[in-house]
A and B are shown apart, each in its own frame.
Chain A
Amino acid sequence: DGGITQSPKYLFRKEGQNVTLSCEQNLNHDAMYWYRQDPGQGLRLIYYSQIVNDFQKGDIAEGYSVSREKKESFPLTVTSAQKNPTAFYLCASSKRQRRNYGYTFGSGTRLTVV
């Protein structure tokens, strides 16, 4: 069954700690994305990658880092430099084509700083 898997579903972090959110897809999609979803602000792009070993900053990349060593995987690290990390994080993927035919989204990870 193809799709995107995000883990864990819920994550609690102490202030000053780094945490890594997992995103894996078996759709053979080239492009992957991380968004942050906050109430009243919609989805904001953190990082995206259109091909293995390459990624670009989105609109709110500060305090986050990513890697893309494999086509299937695009983990997101929320570092201690991120001032307000409590949020719902969504991973998505798409085919890399000239036109955008839409994304497939994961089920999300809710991160809470305690």
Chain B
Amino acid sequence: AQRVTQPEKLLSVFKGAPVELKCNYSYSGSPELFWYVQYSRQRLQLLLRHISRESIKGFTADLNKGETSFHLKKPFAQEEDSAMYYCALSGGIQGAQKLVFGQGTRLTINP
């Protein structure tokens, strides 16, 4: 079974501090991992995906297959990073299009 766990419902850090949002997954095959973000009054949107190995808005995430994790990191938080963040997993040929989401982490950046 595919499962995504985000252990922190709420995370609060000060502006300029490093941020790490945790994501652990359970999947026996080769997963595709994603981070989605939902800013206040905006649609849920894709932030980044592990296959692209990209950095978006200063955020990066590395897939660690040994620890089955895909934590989202940013070295210096900005106030505009305050949002709801969801980690998601897609896996297998049959489930290549289905996304399983974690419970989400609400990130608040304090001035």
Interface residues of A (CB under 8 A from B): 31, 33, 35, 40-45, 48, 50, 58, 90, 94, 96-103, 105-108
Given A40-B9, A42-B103, A43-B101, A102-B96 contact (CB < 8 Å): no
By CB atoms of chain A within 10 A, which of B6, B49, B98, B100 has the most? B98
Interface residues of B in 64-111 (CB under 8 A from A): 86, 90, 93, 96-104
Interfacial chain A residues near B6, Cβ < 8 Å: 42
Instruction: Give A105 to B99 CA distance when docked, in angstroms.
Output: 12
**Distance (whole angstroms) from the CB of A50 to the closest CB of chain B:** 6
B17 at the interface (CB under 8 A from A): no
Instruction: Give A29 to B34 CA distance when docked, in angstroms.
Output: 19
A103 pairs with B103, CB closer than 8 A: no
B contact residues, total (Cβ < 8 Å): 23
Residue of A nearest to B105 (CB): A42
Interfacial chain A residues near B45, Cβ < 8 Å: 105
Q: How many pairs of residues, A versus B, come closer than 8 Å at their CB atoms?
A: 53
Interface residues of B in 1-48 (CB under 8 A from A): 4, 6, 9, 32, 34, 43-46
Residue of B nearest to A100 (CB): B90
Residue of A nearest to B33 (CB): A100
Top 6 nearest A-B pairs by Cβ distance? A100-B90, A43-B101, A102-B46, A42-B103, A105-B44, A42-B101
A sample of 19 cross-chain residue pairs with beta-carbon separation below 8 angstroms, ordered by A number, consists of A42-B4, A42-B6, A43-B101, A45-B99, A45-B100, A48-B97, A50-B97, A97-B96, A98-B93, A99-B32, A100-B96, A100-B97, A102-B34, A102-B46, A102-B49, A103-B46, A103-B99, A105-B44, A107-B43
Instruction: Give A44 to B4 CA distance when docked, in angstroms.
Output: 12
B103 pairs with A41, CB closer than 8 A: yes
Interfacial chain A residues near B9, Cβ < 8 Å: 40
**Distance (whole angstroms) from the CB of B43 to the closest CB of chain A:** 5
Instruction: Give A98 to B46 CA distance when docked, in angstroms.
Output: 18
20 more A-B residue pairs beyond the given contacts A40-B104, A100-B34, with a C-beta to C-beta distance below 8 A = A33-B98, A35-B101, A42-B4, A42-B86, A42-B103, A44-B101, A45-B100, A58-B98, A90-B44, A99-B51, A100-B32, A100-B97, A100-B99, A102-B34, A102-B46, A102-B49, A103-B46, A103-B99, A106-B43, A108-B43
